[in-house]
Structure 1
Amino acid sequence: MAAVVELSEGPGTGAAYVKAALGMLRRGGDTLPDVELVHRGVTVDRGHLARYDRVCGLRLTDTLPATYPHILAFPLAMRLMSAADFPLPMIGLVHVSNRITVRRPIDAGSRLDLAVRAVDLREHPRGRQFDVVATASVDGAQVWRGVSTYLRREAASPSSAPAAPAPPAAEPPAGGAVWRLPARTGTDYAAVSGDRNPIHTSRVGAKLFGFPRQIAHGMWTKARCLAALEGRLPESYAVEVAFKQPILLPSTVRFTSSPAAAGWEFAVHAKRPHLTGSVLFQDGQQSLLDGGDGR
């Protein structure tokens, strides 16, 4: 049973980035902290919600977008991953996938109880990965759940399975909508999300981590995809994405979507895929709705 740490106010993200920078040389460990951070009674600033909607191309409504609770819980995740007892340095982690379950619409006037924990540190052919599980509840009932999977690239363990050979690059699907993303996409999203990782906001910061220029946030891309599907989503659904090649800014990409047996399939691509995802409606999402710690 994880220890529960109750926070009386939301932590900021600036201090967490400073702690993360100081912890870049932290030695690896094999155990995630058995703790859950909880912040109760969180309210939504409607002005901030409107700015978020505009940055992500979403309609202005009083219902929270599926991705909005993620940014409400993000400071808790930052505090958790920048703590001294966290086994992996936060800077350098790669967000490889994200799964969100919307159990019912969330009104912007709701008071949310947020909880965040890290689970399932495991080997990966390119290092180690783990899940950050975030939940939002209203009046004791869970209304939203998000699972972010992060990868720490490092020397593979001898017991790790060898990585499967990469499949040949497929031809990008035809059609879809063309998105032209300006350089400010990263800084605009950083301002509303609190995710000020320099790989998204600074050419110099991006180059320090091997990118020729800054890259778009993966969660901005996911939110933008859901904006493109607005009006075609039910009140309850699950949406899962895999983050592929980063989107360099500025850039021009293409969004495609198609109906599937249980919902929608969608992708963002240029010459190679940047993001692939699926929306599962109620009948097809039961395994996600009833899932455990994010697997």
Structure 2
Amino acid sequence: MKTIEINKLPGQVALNLGALRASSKRPGRVEALPQVTYVRPKVLVDARAVAAYAKVCGFKQAHGVPLLFPHMLAFPLSMMLFGSKYYPWPAMGTVHLANQASQFERIDVGDELRIELQTGELLAHEKGQIFTLHSRAIRRDTLVWESSGHFLRMGVADVSGTPFESDLIDPAPLSHQADFYAGAGIGRRYARVSGDVNPIHLSALTARILGFKRAIAHGMWTTARALSTLMPREPAEQASVVAEFKTPLYLPARTSLWTNRTDASTLFEVRNAKGDKPHLRGRVTY
């Protein structure tokens, strides 16, 4: 396993240019990703960054540091990977298919974390090749948070790995709980706090260049927006969420949140306003 330590991140422009330059890659069959770990050894959980993220995702101050906030701290490392020799495909055209995250101890503003991003396994999918990225947050040698993201490379014919299987096959019926609005500019607002400036999220014009009729919401924003309604109004000590992204949420849009709550967890879907089309399906426990 190769470890690459990043003590100072490149600027956002440099990160995205690096990923853009990698768009000429044309690999053959990929048997496995190179084993590599990117590390940010000392990352402060900054109060202003947490507040900006919370505001755009709908969290209140009482929530504390939201469950998916550490994803923001690992995201620049994924961009560095996409622009490197260790990532075999073009950076553009990658689809975020599913994400899992678990928090094992409460994270607070002012904490200093070690953030790691590691390449993972390949999985087969009917629409192409799935690859996996694993992220971790470590505080004083203790793992406090981890996440696994599944990403789909569309159109890869000769795929590797075992077939992808959903973690969310529970047939339990859901009931309508709430509604929320995803404004036309939410992709740009979330991009400013997350660093994820994929053109498909920024405007109708840039999205159309890449084949979408309008800009679409970030899947991680949609998940966080649902969690801001589902999580208790207090900092979480332990929590986990799994989310699978189903259909694009075109902006602007009114959406509906559907749930099935048990003592152990809440199964949920973010659907269109009519409630007959799922954009996201997930399960949260805390």
Give the alignment's TM-score, normalised by structure 2. Answer: 0.88
Q: Deviations over 1:125-184 (max 9, x none)?
A: 2110111101000000000001111000114338899999xxxxx9x9553212121101
Whole-Å Cα distance in 2 between the matches of residues 160 and 72 of structure 1?
29
Q: Supply the RMSD in Å over aligned alpha carbons.
A: 2.4
Whole-Å Cα distance in 1 between the matches of residues 264 and 233 of structure 2?
13
Q: Specify the alignment match of 2:249 in structure 1.
A: 247
Whole-Å Cα distance in 2 between the matches of residues 163 and 230 of structure 1?
28
Q: Specify the alignment match of 2:281 in structure 1.
A: 276
Counterpart of 1:5 in structure 2: which amino acid?
A: I
Q: Specify the alignment match of 1:6 in structure 2.
A: 5
- The change in CA–CA distance for 1:230 and 1:262 in structure 2 (over 3 A counts) is closer
Whole-Å Cα distance in 2 between the matches of residues 257 and 174 of structure 1?
5
Conserved? CA contact 2:40–2:115, under 8 Å = yes
- The change in CA–CA distance for 1:159 and 1:94 in structure 2 (over 3 A counts) is closer
Whole-Å Cα distance in 2 between the matches of residues 109 and 179 of structure 1?
31
The answer for unaligned runs of 5 or more in structure 2 is 166-170
Q: Specify the alignment match of 2:237 in structure 1.
A: 235
Deviation at residue 62 of structure 1 after TM alignment: 8.0
Q: Deviations over 1:97-149 (max 9, x none)?
A: 00000101101111000000111123322110111101000000000001111
- The change in CA–CA distance for 1:224 and 1:112 in structure 2 (over 3 A counts) is same
Q: Specify the alignment match of 1:293 in structure 2.
A: none
The secondary structure found in structure 1 opposite 2:191 is helix
The secondary structure found in structure 1 opposite 2:61 is coil
Structure 1 residue 104 and structure 2 residue 105: aligned? yes
The secondary structure found in structure 1 opposite 2:150 is strand
Conserved? CA contact 1:102–1:145, under 8 Å = yes
- The change in CA–CA distance for 1:11 and 1:141 in structure 2 (over 3 A counts) is farther
Identity of aligned residues (%): 35
- The change in CA–CA distance for 1:19 and 1:231 in structure 2 (over 3 A counts) is same
Conserved? CA contact 1:80–1:117, under 8 Å = no
Conserved? CA contact 1:125–1:156, under 8 Å = no
Whole-Å Cα distance in 2 between the matches of residues 34 and 160 of structure 1?
16
Counterpart of 2:257 in structure 1: which amino acid?
A: F
The secondary structure found in structure 2 opposite 1:253 is strand
Structure 2 counterparts to residues 45-124 of structure 1, below 5 A: 45-61=46-62, 63-124=64-125
Whole-Å Cα distance in 1 between the matches of residues 159 and 106 of structure 2?
46
- The change in CA–CA distance for 1:161 and 1:231 in structure 2 (over 3 A counts) is closer
Whole-Å Cα distance in 1 between the matches of residues 45 and 121 of structure 2?
31
Whole-Å Cα distance in 1 between the matches of residues 163 and 87 of structure 2?
27
Counterpart of 1:252 in structure 2: which amino acid?
A: R
Deviation at residue 277 of structure 1 after TM alignment: 0.3
Conserved? CA contact 2:269–2:278, under 8 Å = yes
Structure 2 counterparts to residues 152-191 of structure 1, below 5 A: 152-157=153-158, 174-191=175-192
Conserved? CA contact 2:60–2:233, under 8 Å = no
Whole-Å Cα distance in 2 between the matches of residues 104 and 162 of structure 1?
32
Q: Deviations over 1:61-101 (max 9, x none)?
A: 58321110000110011101221331111110000000000
The secondary structure found in structure 1 opposite 2:144 is strand
- Alignment length (residue pairs): 274
The secondary structure found in structure 2 opposite 1:176 is strand
Deviation at residue 235 of structure 1 after TM alignment: 2.1
Q: Specify the alignment match of 1:16 in structure 2.
A: 15
